[in-house]
Amino acid sequence: MEKRERDNAFFNRIQYKLLMKSPYCFIVEPKNGTRYDNISFFGNKKLIKSVSQEDHTATNRFATVLSVPLNYDGKIKTGDVLVVHHNVFRKYYDMKGREKSGPCHFKDNTYIIERDQIYLYLQNDKWNAVDPYCFIKPIEKIQNDLLSLETEEKETGVLFFINDELKKLGLNKGDRVSFLPESEYEFNISGEKLYRMRTRNITVKLSKWTQEN
């Protein structure tokens, strides 16, 4: 009897998720079922990088799509993996010290997110940028100054995940570009350190001559 009840509860949850649809928003769940990505492994040793639930750098930024908005005709599909805003799954404490979920939390392990909270989607093992967002790979700085602590070229990088807006402007993946100060926001995608920014943050496409000189 208990097994049958557990099985019924499981299938009811699956059916509940399949039937959910929002007029304007995506319904998602955190990839791997966890809100936080705060554990690293060194060999067989586990290292907890952060113990604070309010630490946005430790939140899980990957989501699985349960349903797309009604009448949505875009490229994202149910089952795709997304890169989302760092606050989607984050918990916080209110003024009385009570633990709360953020405004995106809907029920159980499901969340409702707006389109502007989605930065990338994964299809056929390929990441695709969502307008107006793109991702820049920083360029390692050549250390001519022994006293400098900077490890990356300032406000310069290579287009790594390019959106349709930039393609229409004639830019391509691999182009070296300059971007506005303080516009970069760090993500780790498939082991790559990347900066998320918007189309309007890209200021100049650098020529080959500029790169070498």
Are 86 and 51 within 8 A, CB to CB? no
- Give the pLDDT of residue 142: 72
Q: Which residues of the chain have pLDDT under 70?
A: 1-19, 36-58, 143-148, 208-213
Report pLDDT for 94: 83
pLDDT of res. 8:
47
In 49-132, DSSP assigns E strands to: 62-67, 81-84, 91-93, 99-101, 105-107, 110-113, 118-123, 126-129
Question: How far from the centroid of its chain's Cα atoms is residue 126's Cα?
Answer: 14
What pLDDT does 2 receive? 56
Identify which of 93, 101, 69, 66 has the alpha carbon closest to the alpha carbon of residue 80.
Answer: 66
pLDDT of residue 151: 81
Output the pLDDT for position 156: 94
